[in-house]
Structure 1
Amino acid sequence: MYLSATFIRDSCVKRDPASAVRVNQSYAAWLAAQNLGTFEAQLGKKFGTDQVKALRQEISGQLAVLDTALQKLGPASQACPALATQFSSDTFDVRKKVPNLAALLTVGRGPSGTTAASGSGSSAGASVTVYSVAQLSSLMAQTVAPLRSAGTRAQEAAGLKKLQTLGKVIVVSGTTKRRRSITQADDRREVRYDVYCYDMHNDAADPPQGQVTVAGRIREFDASLGVVLEDCVVLSAGQSAQFKKSTLAVVDAAWQFKSQPYEKFLVPAGQGLKDSEILGAYMEQSSAVGVGGMTITTYPVSLFLKDGTVFNDPYWAPTSFNFKLSRQLEPQKWGKWTRQGNNFTIKWSDGRTDTFIVKGAPKALPAGTRLSGTFETISGGGTTSLGGDTIVVSSGTYTFRPDGTFTGGSFGGGGDSSVTVGSSRASGGTYSVSGYGITLRGSASQERRLFFARYNDDMLYIGSSTYTRDR
C-alpha cells in the first residue's frame, strides 16, 4: 500500500505538473496521518536495505499493472486531482487495516542481526519478554477451565482477551513440530495448546526445524488448536538471547499425555489384569476418517473394570496388559465410570465428563472356543471424498479355521522377557481364545496376545481394530 501510494504520487507529479503541488500536499498529509514518515527507514532497519530493494523489485510488475490502470482513468489533468483525494479515504487507511503496525516494527531483525525492540543493544532486549509454549498453554488452560460448560466461543473469547493482556506482539520460544506449528514436549507429555504462526515475514513459508523463537501479532485463540499468531518473524539466537524470560508458572493443566507405544505395556501372560477384575467390554458410536478421507461411523470398544475405572484403547489381551504402568504413563486413556441405567457417565483424567451411550457389549469367549471364517478390517485417509487426488488404504485380514489354525495378520516389532515378536508379515499359524484375549502363534516362536471380543458371528474385535466377516 505504501509503495502503491508513492507510485501514484510520483506518476501524477510527472504526468500532470499542474496538479503536482496538490498531489504532493495530499501525499504528505497521508504520511503524517498514518505515522508513515519514517516507515521506509524503519523497514530498512528491520529487514536491511537489500531486502527492501528486493521487495520493490518483486512488486514492480504489480506497479506496472497499476500504471496501466491509472492511464485508463482518463486524462492526467482530471485523474490526478481525483486520485489525490483518495489518500484520505479508507482505501489507504493503513492504521485501520494494520492497527499494530508500529508494534510490528519494534520487534524483529535489523540489518546487522541486532534487535530493534525499542532501540538496540541489551536495553532494548530487557523490555521484551519471551514466553515458552508451555507457559502460554498454561495461561490458556487456566483461563478456559472455569468456562468448560459455557461453550467453545466463550472459551475462545476469554482466551483471546487474556492473551491480549500480554501485548499486541508477543515473543514465544518452542520447537517446530509440523507445518507452522511450534510446540513443547518431553518423553511423556506435550502441551495442550500449540502456537501457530501464519504469514511468516522475511523467512521461509514455514519456521525452520528445531528450537525457534518467534515474534508475532496475536490473531486468535482456537480451543481446538491453540494460540494463533500472524506476521511472525523468526528471531536470531543473538536477538532472543537479549530478551528476558517470562516467570509465568506452568501448571499441570497446561499438558496432555502422549500415547505410548503399545509394546511398553506388554507383560507375560497372567501378570496383567485378572478376568475377575473385568466388568465387561462395551462399544459406543463414533466416527473416523475412512478411505479417501470420507467420514465413516465406527464402534470402538472400551474396557470397564469392576474397580470403577475404564480404559478406552484395549490392544493387548487383558492378562498381558500392564494396566498399572498404563495408568501412570497414559492417564488420558483412563477415566472413572458411574452407571446411568444402560449407559455410563465417565469422568476422564483431564476433568472432562462424557456420557458413554452403550451400543453393544462384545463378549468374552470361553477358553478353547474355535472360530470359522475370513474377517477383514479396512481404514485409510486421503482427499478423494473432497475432490482431491490422494487416497490412502490400510487393510488386514484373518482367516480362522475350526482346527485352530489361521492365515493372515501381521507381527509388529517389540516384545518382553518371555516373548520375542518379529517384524515380518505373518503367513499364518495357530490361535487360541480365552476370555477377552486371543493368542496368535506364528513360525519361529512369534507370538501375539491381543485383545479379543466377539459382538456377533459377523463382527470381531482383535487388538485395537474392528473386523467384519468377508462375504
Structure 2
Amino acid sequence: MYVSVNYLRDSCVKRDPASAAKVTQAYGAWVGAQQLGDFETRLGQKLGKETLLRWRQGLGNDLNGLDAALQKLGPPSQSCPAIATLFSSDTFNVRKKVPNLTALLGPVGGKNSAGTTGTTGVATQNQPASAGGVVYSVAQLSSLMAQTLAPLGKATGREQDAAGLKKLKSLGPVIAVSGTTQRSRSITQEDDRRTVRFDVYCYDMANDADNPPKGQVTVAGRVREFDHVTGITLEDCVVLSAAQGAQLKKSTVTVVDAGWQFKAQPAEKFLVAAGQGLKDSDILGAYMEQSTGIGVGGMVLITYPISLFLKDGTVYNDPYWAPSSFNYKLSRQLEPQKWGQWTRQGQNFVIRWGNGETQTFEVKGSPKPLAAGTKLSGAFQTISGGGNTALSGDVVVAGGSNYTFRPDGTFSGGRFGSVSSSTVTAGSTGKTGGTYVVSGYGVTLKGTGGQEQRLFFARYDQDLLYIGGSSYTPDR
C-alpha cells in the first residue's frame, strides 16, 4: 500500500503538472495522518537494506498492473485529481489495516532516550552544521536539480535520481535550506503564480513528530536522496534558530524558470468586460474528449470534458468564461500549463502542452455555438462527488448545480452540496433566477438582484449542454 501510494503520487506529478500541487499536498497529508514520515527508514532498519531492495523489486509486476489500471481511468488531467481524493479514504488507511504498525517496526534507530540525534547525527539543535556555511533557498536547490536533469535527455528515472543526488552531495554532506512549511516536514517556496518544482523533505525536523514548525524556517540536514518526480530528502534535520541562520551566507545560485511550476489560478483573474476577450472569428471550435471523473460515493465515471481550439494553432483546456469575456492573453502568461499548440491528425489533434508533454486528443464530439438570441427549454443538472462507498466505505459526498431554462428568456436554478456518513450528515443549497441571453459560445445570466455572469456555453445535442465548462444533462 505504501509503495502504491508513492507510485501513484510520482506518476501523477510527472504526467499532470497542473494537478501536481494538489496530489503532492494530498500525499503529504496522507503521510502525516498515517504517521509514515520515517516508515521506510525504520523498515530498512528492521529488515535490512538488501531485503528491502529485494522486496521493492518483487513489486515490479504489481506496479505495472497499477500503471495500466491508472491509464484506463483516462487522461492524467482527469484521473490524477480523482486519485488525490482517494488518499484520505479507507482504501489507503494503513493504520486501520495494521493498527500495531508502530510496535511492529520497533524503536527508531539512532535515537537516544531523549529523542534527539546521537553522536552518529550530523547536527544537533545546539550545533548546526552546513558545508561551507552557506544556506540555499528551496528555489535555488530546485533550480540546481532542474538544470542537472535538463541535459540528460531520455535518461531513465533512476539515472536522473542518481545525477541529482550526485549534484546535491557535491554541495557537501550537510546542507542548510530556507523556505516555508505548514506544520509538515515539507519545505517549499512559492509566489502568487508559481511553486517550486522540487520541495525539500526533512526527516526528524525539530525532532518532534507531532509538532513541526510552521512558517519561514531554516534547517540543516544530511543529503539523503533525490527523486526526479517529487523532490529532495534530507535526514537528521534540525531547525536552526534565527541567530544560527544569521551566521550562514546566502547562496548566489541563480534561480531559473525550469525550477518552478505554475499553480492553478482563480478564474476571476481572467474575466474582462464583454467584447474585450476573444472574438468569434478567433475560435476554431470546441471539442470533446473521453475522460473520467469521480461521482457520488467515489465511483469512477466516464466524462466528456471540452477544450477550446483557436485558429492561431493554440488550445485551452479549461474554458469557464464566455470567450468574449475571457482575458486569454493574461491566461497564457499566468497559467501556461493549460495552453498547448495543436496540429491536425485526421479528425483528431496532436497537442504539445505548455509543460512539454504531447497528447493525442481523440475527438468524441464538437459542441456547437448557438445563434444570438436562441431560446432554451428544459431543466438540466450537473453533479460530481466523492467519498468511499464505491470502495465499501460509508462516506458520500455530492455537489452540483441545476438550471431550468424557459422559452420566455428566464431561468431558475442553484447550487447544492451534501456530505454524509454513518456519524454525520450536512448539506447546503443556494438558489438564483433571472434572465438569460445566449450568443455563440457564451451565455449571459442576469439575476433578479442585478448580478450578472457571462459563462462559456455550448450545446452538443438536446441532452447535453456545457455551461461554465461543466457538462449538464436533463434533470428528469
Is 1:261 the counterpart of 2:266? The answer is yes
Gaps of 5+ in 2: 1-102, 111-116, 417-428
CA contact (8 A) 2:122 2:236 kept: no
TM-superposed deviation, 1:177: 4.3
TM-superposed deviation, 1:224: 3.7
CA contact (8 A) 1:103 1:168 kept: no
1:251 alignment partner, one of 242, 252, 256? 256
Match of 1:373 in 2: 378
**TM-score, normalised via structure 1 length:** 0.67
CA contact (8 A) 1:203 1:234 kept: no
CA contact (8 A) 1:281 1:363 kept: yes
SS state at 1:302 partner: strand
Is 1:109 the counterpart of 2:125? The answer is yes
Identity %: 69
How many equivalent residue pairs? 353
Q: Which amino acid aligns with 1:463?
A: G
CA distance in 1, matches of 2:398, 2:371: 34
CA distance in 2, matches of 1:225, 1:387: 31
Residues 96-138 of structure 1, C-alpha deviations (whole Å, 9 max, x = no match): xxxxx8896232312xxxx343xxxxxxx67333221101211
Match of 1:136 in 2: 141
SS state at 2:432 partner: coil
TM-superposed deviation, 1:305: 0.5
Match of 2:435 in 1: 430
Instruction: Decide whether aligned partners of structure 1 residues 297 and 425 sit closer, same or farther in structure 2, where only a CA change above 3 A counts.
Output: same
CA distance in 1, matches of 2:380, 2:108: 66
Q: Which amino acid aligns with 1:470?
A: D
CA distance in 1, matches of 2:131, 2:167: 23
2:175 alignment partner, one of 162, 170, 175? 170
TM-superposed deviation, 1:442: 0.8
Match of 1:62 in 2: none
Instruction: Decide whether aligned partners of structure 1 residues 92 and 338 sit closer, same or farther in structure 2, where only a CA change above 3 A counts.
Output: closer
TM-superposed deviation, 1:243: 1.9
Matches within 5 A, 1:354-369: 354-369=359-374
Match of 1:279 in 2: 284
CA contact (8 A) 1:133 1:194 kept: yes
Q: Identify which of structures 1 and 2 has the higher relative contact order when contacts are C-alpha pairs closer than 8 Å and 6+ apart.
A: 2
2:464 alignment partner, one of 452, 459, 464? 459
CA distance in 2, matches of 1:194, 1:452: 39
TM-superposed deviation, 1:343: 1.8
CA distance in 2, matches of 1:272, 1:186: 26
Residues 317-359 of structure 1, C-alpha deviations (whole Å, 9 max, x = no match): 0011111122222222222211122222222233333222222
- Whose Rg is larger? 1
Matches within 5 A, 1:42-441: 105-110=121-126, 115-117=127-129, 127-147=132-152, 149-150=154-155, 152-177=157-182, 179-386=184-391, 390-409=395-414, 425-441=430-446
Instruction: Decide whether aligned partners of structure 1 residues 282 and 386 sit closer, same or farther in structure 2, where only a CA change above 3 A counts.
Output: same
CA distance in 2, matches of 1:129, 1:434: 60
Instruction: Decide whether aligned partners of structure 1 residues 293 and 151 sit closer, same or farther in structure 2, where only a CA change above 3 A counts.
Output: farther
SS state at 1:466 partner: strand
Q: Which amino acid aligns with 2:124?
A: G
Gaps of 5+ in 1: 1-64, 66-90, 95-100, 118-124, 412-423
Deviates more, 1:182-191 or 1:170-179: 170-179
Instruction: Decide whether aligned partners of structure 1 residues 227 and 182 sit closer, same or farther in structure 2, where only a CA change above 3 A counts.
Output: same
CA contact (8 A) 2:128 2:244 kept: no
CA contact (8 A) 1:376 1:468 kept: yes
Q: Which amino acid aligns with 1:409?
A: G
CA distance in 2, matches of 1:153, 1:359: 38
Instruction: Decide whether aligned partners of structure 1 residues 147 and 206 sit closer, same or farther in structure 2, where only a CA change above 3 A counts.
Output: farther
Match of 1:449 in 2: 454
TM-superposed deviation, 1:204: 4.5
CA distance in 2, matches of 1:181, 1:93: 22
SS state at 1:428 partner: strand
Match of 1:87 in 2: none
TM-superposed deviation, 1:227: 2.0
CA distance in 2, matches of 1:184, 1:300: 32
The CA RMSD over aligned residues, in Å, is: 3.0
TM-superposed deviation, 1:290: 3.7
Q: Which amino acid aligns with 1:242?
A: Q
**TM-score, normalised via structure 2 length:** 0.67
